[in-house]
Amino acid sequence: MRMLHTMLRVGNLEKSLQFYCDLLGMTKLRQKDYPDGKFTLAFVGYGDETDNTVIELTHNWETERYEIGDGYGHIALGVDDIYGTCDRIKAQGGNVSREPGPMKHGTTVIAFITDPDGYKIELIQAKG
């Protein structure tokens, strides 16, 4: 077995694609509208789905906003330069909700950013 994807429900697909593709550097791998169900699925990631886990963005056409709830945690991404990455994200209008620095009770350098729907993305400095 292997992990295939994580699904997030999004209120504005274009804003979400801009966030994940333009700000985080993912590629839109595929997208399909389902008119009878009134929804669109878009898959984004850092590589082809045959070899990589990706994110499925689900846009229900008649829903503009979701309550995230207290069960959701975050998605984690490894980055080579966490400080430069956060500076770039802020310069492009992204929301860095926790500036880079050591994690509480540890030494790993982390930061958090927030996507247009309020989902948290943890950035983790790659060991080098």
- What is the C-alpha to C-alpha distance for residues 68 and 88, in angstroms, rounded to an integer? 26
Task: Kindly tell me the sign of the dihedral angle through the C-alpha atoms of 124, 121, 95, 106.
Answer: negative
User: Which of these, 88, 75, 81, lies nearest to 127 by C-alpha position?
Assistant: 81
**64 included as an active-site residue:** no
Q: How many CB atoms lie within 10 A of CB 97?
A: 12
Catalytic amino acids?
Answer: 122
